[in-house]
Amino acid sequence: MKAIRRLRRNFEHGVHPAHHKQQTENLPIQRVPFVKDYVMPLGQHIGVPAKAVVAVGERVQRGQLIAEPGGFVSTGLHSPVTGTVREIGDFRGADGRFAPAIAIEADAFATQQVDAGPAVDWESLSLEKFIEAVQMAGIVGMGGAAFPAHVKLSVPDGVKIRHLLINGAECEPFLTTDHRLMVERPEAVLEGAEIMRQKLGAEETVIGIEANKPDAIKTIRKHIQPNQPVRVVPLKVKYPQGAEKMMIKSVFDKEVPAGQLPRDVEVNVNNVGTIVAVADYFLRGMPLIERVVTVAGPGVTYPANLIVPLGTPVREVVRFCGGLKPGTREIIMGGPMMGRPIASLDVPILKGCSGVLVFTEQQTAGRKEYPCISCGRCLEACPYFLNPSRLARLSKSRMFDEMKAYHVYDCVECGCCTFACPSNIPIVQLIRTAKDDLANRKEPEE
């Protein structure tokens, strides 16, 4: 029975949104031109914001450290361009809040050439030094969460990592950044994976790719060296295949216990983009100063996969893609299932931003809310087997404490329930409201 399930390579429940990747999946990655103004928020990762180490008026080089980690769960920040620090202060972020950031004006006469710095001799680094290097390089999870990568590498004593799992599922509709990276830079993916695997002491590397990217599967397989312990696992096209616990279930048929981490089942999961960032830093000396962003959706004139320097305003990225079409109603940073709509085009591209999606009336219509009729579609969608309908009802009644008994903390906000809901109830939003309320209530006690 177990063997049969293993063959199916799947997790239970989940949803099947149309993947909408046709727009950009065959477009090679191109570089956006440099612009004049950049804004680098100090808190573009989960955890403590970084601390600025430059002063206003100071000249900075592309790739120079401009902020150091503000704590353990924090990373370094580097200048995306050669130029001058114009201002250090509060700037409007993608979430609409003002937050500390460093504004840099690019030098109009600098070449902005992508300087390959000296490679880092990673093989001779101790594990501690390696982890520190990853932290200073500013590398975070590039799939969207922007969780500092070095924290995942810091495995407590006695815990063994046997499998390094590379997440190439890219299950969010519209996005094609990981897909293009795997097709265009398979060597970088495999190099980064090898560095990580050796440093973690893992036995093998597994690359999980959704079956709707046959070219990526083929290309990666072709580039695997005969003696490399790497295997590619094609996965069923289903959302959220790229949620790390779902992918572990699909690939290894193991359930990560609630409240625990992948390392508790001897797995370390990293996104393709993160792995490429590791390779770029240790082999080419490039800290994390730019990333691949998919610009797509029916409201954008020329969809594209772009290398964008961090801190570039969304306005400039959209302008490079021919601007917005008339009828634009919504602009999303990230994917359509877990991303965030932005209120203004004047917010910067961040480390965790995998896409800029432009939606028109057609996508935004039909979100009118109706009463919950307990149809149970959300229960059949939830990959965590929660009861979203009950959670939403409790949240609407502000019975947040009761929601704990229904495991509200196990929710990863993947959005399957809301996607499936015929009454368009904003279930994820209601769940987040409850989580926020519970978290804010705790603070005064501490």
If the CB atoms of residues 152 and 249 are measured against another protein, the closer one turns out to be 249
If the CB atoms of residues 84 and 301 are measured against another protein, the closer one turns out to be 301
What's the closest the beta carbon of residue 98 comes to another protein, in angstroms? 17
What's the closest the beta carbon of residue 184 comes to another protein, in angstroms? 27
Span 32-51, contacts to another protein by CB under 8 A = none
Span 157-196, contacts to another protein by CB under 8 A = 173
* Contact between 10 and another protein per CB under 8 A: no
What's the closest the beta carbon of residue 239 comes to another protein, in angstroms? 9
Smallest Cα–Cα separation from 94: which of 312, 315, 340? 340
What's the closest the beta carbon of residue 338 comes to another protein, in angstroms? 5
Number of residues near another protein (by CB under 8 A) = 72
If the CB atoms of residues 156 and 366 are measured against another protein, the closer one turns out to be 366
Candidate ranges 1-9, 79-87, 225-233, 416-424; the one touching another protein (CB under 8 A): 416-424
Span 295-334, contacts to another protein by CB under 8 A = 315, 319, 323-324, 328-332, 334
If the CB atoms of residues 129 and 325 are measured against another protein, the closer one turns out to be 325
If the CB atoms of residues 62 and 263 are measured against another protein, the closer one turns out to be 263
Q: Which of 116, 127, 159, 258 touches another protein (CB under 8 A)? A: 258
Q: Which of 14, 303, 336, 348 touches another protein (CB under 8 A)? A: 336
Q: One symbol per residue from 372 to 411: x for binding another protein (CB under 8 A), - otherwise; what is it?
A: xxxxxx-xx--xxxxx-xx---------------xx--x-
If the CB atoms of residues 186 and 352 are measured against another protein, the closer one turns out to be 352
What's the closest the beta carbon of residue 271 comes to another protein, in angstroms? 18
If the CB atoms of residues 192 and 334 are measured against another protein, the closer one turns out to be 334
